[in-house]
A and B are shown apart, each in its own frame.
Chain A
Amino acid sequence: MLRSDDILSTVRMLREEQLDVRTVTLGINLQECASYDVDHLCRKIHTKILAKAAQLVAVCDDISQKYGIPIVNKRLAISPVTWLLEGQNEAAFLQVARQLDSTVKAVGVDLLGGFTALVQKGMTSGERVYFNVLPEVLAETQRICASVNAASSRTGINVDAILLVSQAIKRAAELTAGNDGFAAAKLVVFSNIPEDNPFMAGGFLGPGEPESVINIGVSGPGVIKRRLQQMLHSHPGANLGQIAEQIKETAFRITRVGELIGREVASRLKVEFGIVDLSLAPTPRMGDSVGEILQVMGLEHIGSAGTTAAIALLTDAVKKGGLFASSSVGGLSGAFVPVAEDAALAHAVANKTLGIEKLEAITSICSVGLDMVPIPGDTTVETLASLICDELAIGVINGKTTAARIIPIPGKKAGEMARWGGLFGESPILDVQNLRPNQTLITRGGRIPAPVHSFRN
C-alpha cells in the first residue's frame, strides 16, 4: 500500500515543481523506402511515417492524462537521410526534405531529426551532395533537424567534414538572415554522436537501433532546482555531499517517470522501448534552467570560478540517481548548457561573466557542448570551423559526446541580441575573435588521427 506522504510528495512534484516528460521521440528506420524513383521514395516515406506515427500524439496525450504527467514534446527521429539518398542529386535531397516536413506536420509533431551524415572518417559522394544542399534544406523547411558526426574517439577528427559543415552553417544562417540565422539552429555537429538521442536537433535513429523505438527525454532542470530550494530552506547549512544526495534522489524519481511513460507509449504503439536520456534539458522559461540550479547551489555568477565544479557535481548526481532507477539509460545523459535556451546562461552572457572560453571548459563535463551559441555574423568559415574542431577534440580525447550548435547571426555583432523565440529562446551574441587570414591550421584539412586510449592524463 502506498504511503500518504509519498503520494503527496509525487503530487507536489507534478503540481508545484512542474515535473514533466520533456520528449517522447519515436525512432523510425526508413531504409526500406529507398528507391531511385524519388517520387516513389517520397510516397513510401509518407506511408511508413503515417503507419508508425499517426497515433503518437494521441497516445501520448492519453497516457499524459492517465498519469497526470505533461509530455512536452513528441518528436520523430529517422535513420540517416544520407543512407537513403546515396546516388541521388541535390534536387532529390530537397524533395525528400519537403516531403518529410509535410508528413511530420500531418502527424502533429513539431520536429524531426535524422537529416544526418556520419562522416567521422570520410565521405561518400552522396554525403558531399548532402553538404551542398544542407543550407537550402534547413532554410526551406520548418521541422527538419540535421546532425553531422565529424569525429569519434575511434577514428579521430575529420577536418574536411568540419570545413564543409562550417560553410553550410554560414550559408544556412545567411539564407535566414531575417530570422537571425535560424536555419543554423537546427544543425548540430558532433563527436561520438549517440545513436539513441531523443533530443533535437541532434536526435536520429542510428546504426544498430531497432526498426522502430521509443526513446525518452526526462524532465527539465526546474524540478531539481525547486527540490534543492526546499531542502536549503529547511537545511540552510547543507554541504555539497547533501546537495548531491538530494539531486540523486530527485533524478531517481524523474527517471522512473520517464521509463514508465516510455514503456507504456511503446507498448501502445507496438514498438520497442529504447532508452531514457537523463539529460536536464532547459527551456527559456524562467525556473527551467540549469544555470539557476547552479545559483541555488551557491554560485553567484555563472561562469565564475567554481562553475565547472558545480556542473560536475550536478551531472554526476543526476547520472547516479538515473542509473539506479533504470537499466535502460542512453542518449546524451548529462546536463545541457544551451545558451539561448537557458535564461540564466543567456543572462550570464549579457553580464559578461560567461564567455565562449568558459563555456568550452564546462563542456568537458557536460553532455553536449557549445550549444545554441550565437556568434557575430562576420565570423569567418575558418574561425567557425576551428571553434567546432576545438569542441569536438574535447569529446574525442575524453571519450564522450560533445557537440557544437553555433549560429553566426548575419549583420549583427557581439553584444547584440539574437532572438528566435519559443523553445529556441534568445541570447546576446558572444564575442569571437576572427583568426588572421594567414592562419593555416584548419585549412590544411585532412584528419586528426584517433587518440591513444591509455595514458589518460
Chain B
Amino acid sequence: MINNITNETSKKFVVAIMSRDRIGIVRDVTAALEPFHANIERVSQTVVMNYFTLTFIVSFPQEYPTEKIKNLLKSAGNPGEFEIGVKAYEPAAEHETIVADADCFVLTVTGKDRAGIINTIVTYLSGKGINIIDLYAYKPDTETFILISQLSVPRRMNAAQIQLDIEALSRKAGLAATLQHENIFKATNEITAPANFSDRG
C-alpha cells in the first residue's frame, strides 16, 4: 500500500525516468506498478549514448500523491540508479493543440559540430512560434553533426520565407539546412500513399 504524503494527488500521471542503460529497466518499472493495478497508456523510450530515458502516462483506479509514485518508482531501481520526474496529468493536455492549423515540416541540419548549433536553430524557431514535435541529433563521426527535427509550422506563416531564413541562418553558422514538408518523406518511404493521393482516400 502506498503511504499518504501531503502533496497533489491524481489518478493519472506523466512520468520520466532517466538512468544508465541496462537490461531489465522497463521490467523493473512495470513490476513496481503492477500491484497497484496501474495501466500504462502511452510510452516513449530512447537510449542516447547508453543513457536510457523512459516517458510514460500511467493511470490508477484510485488517487495517489505524486511523491508516492516517485518513491515507488525509485525503489524499482538500484539505490541511486534512477532520476525520476512525476507530474499529475492535466486532462486538458489531451485535447490541447499547441500550434493550431499547422503543417508538419521536417528540418535537417548537417555540418561541422560546435557548441551552440541547436540553440541557434531553436531560438529562431521559438521566436517564430514554431513548435518542435520531435528532435533528434547525433554525430556519425567525430566532426560531423546531424540534426533532424519535425516541426509544426502554422499554415498562416510563409513557409518559403521560413525555409530561406533557416537556410541563411545555417549557412552563416557553416551548416547546411533543409526544411521540407513531411509529405515528401512519407511519399518516398512509406508503403501507404500520402493523404493528398485523394483517389485512394
Binding site for B on A (CB under 8 A): 1-4, 6-11, 13-15, 62, 65-69, 253, 256-257, 259-260, 263-264, 267, 326-328
Contacts and interface: CB of A to CB of B under 8 A. Distances in A.
B188 A253 contact: yes
B188 A10 contact: yes
A168 B179 CA distance: 50
B159 A260 contact: no
The 4 A-B residue pairs whose C-beta atoms are closest, nearest first, are A256-B187, A6-B189, A68-B180, A253-B188
Contacts of B3: none
B150 A2 contact: yes
B150 to A, nearest CB: 7
A253 B190 CA distance: 9
B193 A65 contact: no
Contact of A15 (B178, B183, B188, B196): B178
26 contacts: A1-B150, A2-B186, A2-B189, A3-B189, A6-B189, A7-B106, A7-B185, A8-B108, A10-B184, A10-B188, A11-B180, A62-B160, A66-B159, A66-B181, A67-B184, A68-B163, A68-B184, A69-B184, A253-B188, A256-B193, A257-B188, A259-B193, A260-B183, A260-B184, A260-B194, A263-B198
B160 A66 contact: yes
B108 A13 contact: no
Interface SS of chain B: mixed
Nearest to B148: A4
Interface of B: 106, 108, 134, 136, 146, 148, 150, 159-160, 163, 176, 178-189, 193-194, 196-200
Contacts of A256: 187-188, 193
Contacts of B106: 2, 7
Nearest to B140: A8
A14 B176 CA distance: 13
Given A65-B163, A66-B159, A67-B181, A7 B198 contact: no
Nearest to B107: A7
A68 B178 contact: yes
B197 A263 contact: yes
Contact of A66 (B134, B176, B180, B200): B180
A71 to B, nearest CB: 13
Nearest to B189: A6
Nearest to A327: B200
A2 B148 CA distance: 10
Contacts of A69: 184
A257 B182 CA distance: 12
Contacts of B187: 256-257, 259-260
Contacts of A13: 188
A62 B182 CA distance: 16
A141 to B, nearest CB: 34
B180 A9 contact: no
Given A1-B134, A263-B198, A8 B160 contact: no
B199 to A, nearest CB: 8
A233 B80 CA distance: 48
A15 B176 CA distance: 10
A176 to B, nearest CB: 41
Contacts of B200: 327
A8 B178 CA distance: 11
Contacts of B134: 1
A65 B196 CA distance: 18
Contacts of B186: 2
Nearest to B160: A65
Nearest to B184: A67
A7 B179 CA distance: 11
Given A4-B136, A267-B196, A9 B163 contact: no
A221 B147 CA distance: 30
Contacts of B188: 6, 9-10, 13, 253, 256-257
B186 to A, nearest CB: 7
Contact of A10 (B160, B185, B196, B197): B185
Contacts of B183: 67, 260
A246 to B, nearest CB: 15
Report which residue of A2, A8, A62 has the largest number of chain B beta carbons within 10 angstroms of its beta carbon: A2
B5 to A, nearest CB: 37
A66 B196 CA distance: 15
Contacts of A65: 159-160, 163
A271 to B, nearest CB: 14
A230 to B, nearest CB: 16
Contacts of B180: 11, 66-68
A144 B179 CA distance: 37
B110 to A, nearest CB: 8
Residue of B146, B163, B188 with most chain A CB atoms under a 10 A cut-off = B188
A223 to B, nearest CB: 11
A188 B177 CA distance: 43
Contacts of B199: 327-328
Nearest to A324: B191
Nearest to B136: A4
Contacts of B196: 260, 263-264, 267
A6 B191 CA distance: 13
Nearest to A328: B199
Contacts of A328: 199
B108 to A, nearest CB: 5
Contacts of A327: 199-200
Given A11-B108, A65-B163, A2 B185 contact: yes
Nearest to A253: B188
Contacts of B159: 65-66
A14 B189 CA distance: 14
A253 B193 CA distance: 11
Contacts of A2: 106, 150, 182, 185-186, 189
Contacts of A1: 134, 150
A94 B28 CA distance: 84
A267 B183 CA distance: 15
